Amino acid sequence: MKPVIKGSAYVLAHVPDLVRYGSKPYREIEKDPNLLPKIEKNLRRFLDVVAYPPNQVFIGNLTPDELRNIPQPWFENKLFSASSCGNFGEIVGENNFYGVLKLADANGYDLVWIENKFLSDIKKFGINIFFDEQSSQKMGEGKTIAEIQEKLALGPRMALPLFHNEKLIGCFNRSQDPHAQEDEALGPHPLMEGLAAKASGALALKHLIEKLKMSPEEIDFIISCSEEAVGDRYNRGGGSLAKAIGEMCGCINATGPDIKAFCVSPIYAIIVAASLVKAGVFKKVAVVGGGCLAKLGMKFQGHLESGYPIIEDTLGAAAFLIASDDRKSPIIRLDAIGKNNIKNSARQEDVTRAVVLEPLKKLGKRIIDIDKYAVQLENPEITVPSKTGDVPKKNYDMIAGLAVLNKEITPQEMAEFVKIRGMPGFAPTQGHIPAAVPYLGHAIEAIKNGGIKNAMFIARGSLFLGRMSQLHDGMSFIIEKNPKQKEAKKCLRKKRP
């Protein structure tokens, strides 16, 4: 049975008041409290985040090729007719996200305290895929500002303040139970990271379920590829965000684990999901990745120095459904998986050969037989001001370079190769989220409507960051047109910003 990729969903949660809790801003503000007002002054408004062209590509209202035609800097070329609702998901505003965060905390742990008026406004006026008649009750009661301040007076080990428009609206607590008081893994900061990943991941999965017009009960198995280390002091990183996210989305007939391998996690998770479907173990497997709070504002210094707004102000999340053959969705070629084996050194040629050339050889194909390559798709407008280069461009150059070494193209044709078979980066620097898979939604559409016939998804992981090994990781898969798909009807897009 051939596994297919049925669909994907993408969500951005605009959380400017959580940027201060990103690892880099948090450390720098601790050293120099004067930085905070500078950061706040350069944060973006929700409308600017919606109108930001790369974000429109992420949620599926604009294609990567259309983004290429918009001059940079993109933050100065906003799309004023843009919508926060996308073909593949949505951009969620901060107040609504706090509501979802509160719902994610509805398991009796009482981690998120929100001020009375702010919470009742969310209940009354909030609009979100998760908000319904029951959600008000699930969100529980608010707190008075005095109660919140009393909690905050215990210091940052016990609670961290939550803001909206720079105004105090709540706090995030250490786990309240007595034996967690000395457990640093259950302090407010790591728990906030975990819950932000759960809430944003659940948003993506919920969108996926709605988009595919399916019941959450149909999902058999869920794999989380989120990076956050959820667990207590005896098992930091124990997991299972997958099940927590599934619970929030009503996937009552599913269970599932987390797969973690730095930025390569989504590729591993999709390959495992497709293998489970092919083996007949499960019929419908969801893969979900929640956002990474720690990476908010990671490159804020470069942005401040360049006079840019702080672009790393959104949590990114994505969800995918892998299912048995439906005779229309693109198939995942499990007979041509690329992998960078342990014996391989770190040298670029080894890694690129392993993930690009080896799987193609198995299919008797050449590099130029793949219509689109999706690589690490970090938005260059985030990385270039901090002098860390255009990440997708670097990866595309390596694939083009390999095509030169392979005598498929000449050095003069490299730029054209990158232009046609590559794309500009459009994903937030959220670790595993930009790992090639932001293109999956676009690829499914393009393959179905005949724009392209296949695409390769490649991610690379910096295992050395964990100090357990010096190894570099890399993994890839190919999707292609379903041979059983009836003649493609031209799919005219309805929504355009």
Partner 1 sequence: MLKEKKAIIFGERDEIPGLSIEECLKAAGVKQEDIVFSLTECFV
Partner 2 sequence: MSLEYQKSVKELAEKYGPENLVVVLGFLDEELVEIYATTLTLGDPSYSGSLAGVALRLKVYHILEPEVKDQIPEVVYQEQMGLAEITTGQEKIKKISKMLKEIREK
Chain residues binding partner 1 by CB under 8 A are: 263, 345-348, 376, 378, 383, 386, 388-389, 391, 394-395, 398, 429, 431, 434, 460, 462, 464-465, 470, 472
From the list 113-121, 246-254, 367-375, 393-401, the region that binds partner 2 by CB under 8 A is 393-401
Among 362, 387, 493, 495, binds partner 2 (CB under 8 A): 387
Quote the CA–CA distance of 129 and 319 in Å, as a whole number.
15
- Site size for partner 2 (CB under 8 A): 17
Do residues 216 and 249 touch, judged by C-beta distance below 8 A? yes
CB of 136 to partner 2, least distance (A): 47
Quote the CA–CA distance of 163 and 198 in Å, as a whole number.
20
Quote the CA–CA distance of 166 and 116 in Å, as a whole number.
17
Q: Which entry of partner 2, partner 1, none binds 307, CB below 5 to 8 A by partner kind? A: none
CB of 465 to partner 1, least distance (A): 6
Task: Report how far apart, in Å, the C-alpha atoms of 288 and of each of 174, 246, 264, 326 are.
Answer: 26, 9, 13, 21
Based on CB atoms, which residue is closest to partner 2, 361 or 496? Answer: 361
What is the DSSP-derived secondary structure letter of residue 73? P
Quote the CA–CA distance of 497 and 62 in Å, as a whole number.
7
Residue carrying the six token digits 């409308």: 47
Q: Which entry of partner 2, partner 1, none binds 405, CB below 5 to 8 A by partner kind? A: partner 2
Quote the CA–CA distance of 116 and 102 in Å, as a whole number.
13
Q: Which entry of partner 1, partner 2, none binds 400, CB below 5 to 8 A by partner kind? A: partner 2
Site string for partner 2, 409-428 (x = CB under 8 A): --x--x--------------
Do residues 83 and 61 touch, judged by C-beta distance below 8 A? yes
Q: What is the bridge-based pairing of β-strands 284-289 and 338-339?
A: unpaired
Among 29, 398, 436, 443, binds partner 2 (CB under 8 A): 398
CB of 394 to partner 2, least distance (A): 7
Q: Which entry of partner 1, partner 2, none binds 401, CB below 5 to 8 A by partner kind? A: partner 2
Cis peptide before 64 (omega within 30 of 0): no
Alpha-carbon torsion, ordered 406, 410, 416, 421, to 10 deg:
-10
CB of 470 to partner 1, least distance (A): 6
Distance, first Cα to last Cα, the chain = 39
Residues 325-384 that bind partner 2 (CB under 8 A): 347-349, 352
Based on CB atoms, which residue is closest to partner 2, 334 or 471? Answer: 471
Among 1, 127, 405, 488, binds partner 2 (CB under 8 A): 405
What is the DSSP-derived secondary structure letter of residue 141? -
Based on CB atoms, which residue is closest to partner 2, 154 or 415? Answer: 415
Burial 81-99, CB ≥16 within 10 A → b, else e: ebbbebbbbbbbbbbbbbb
CB of 476 to partner 1, least distance (A): 15
Quote the CA–CA distance of 89 and 87 in Å, as a whole number.
6
Q: Which entry of partner 2, partner 1, none binds 402, CB below 5 to 8 A by partner kind? A: partner 2
Q: Which entry of partner 1, partner 2, none binds 472, CB below 5 to 8 A by partner kind? A: partner 1
Which amino acid does the sequence have at 67? L
Q: Which entry of partner 1, partner 2, none binds 146, CB below 5 to 8 A by partner kind? A: none
Based on CB atoms, which residue is closest to partner 1, 333 or 472? Answer: 472
Q: Judged by CB under 8 A, does residue 462 bind partner 2?
A: no
CB of 431 to partner 1, least distance (A): 8
Coil, strand or helix: which one is 289?
strand
Based on CB atoms, which residue is closest to partner 1, 365 or 394? Answer: 394
Among 68, 394, 448, 453, binds partner 2 (CB under 8 A): 394
Based on CB atoms, which residue is closest to partner 1, 161 or 424? Answer: 424
From the list 121-129, 248-256, 395-403, 450-458, the region that binds partner 2 by CB under 8 A is 395-403
Q: Report DSSP letters for 74-133, one per residue.
A: GGGS--TT--SB-SSEEEE-HHHHHHHHHHHTTTTT--EEEBHHHHHHHHHH---TT-ST
In sequence order, the 6+-apart residues with CB closer than 8 A to the CB of 416 are none
Based on CB atoms, which residue is closest to partner 2, 45 or 387? Answer: 387
Chain residues in the site for partner 2 (CB under 8 A): 347-349, 352, 387-389, 394, 397-398, 400-402, 404-405, 411, 414
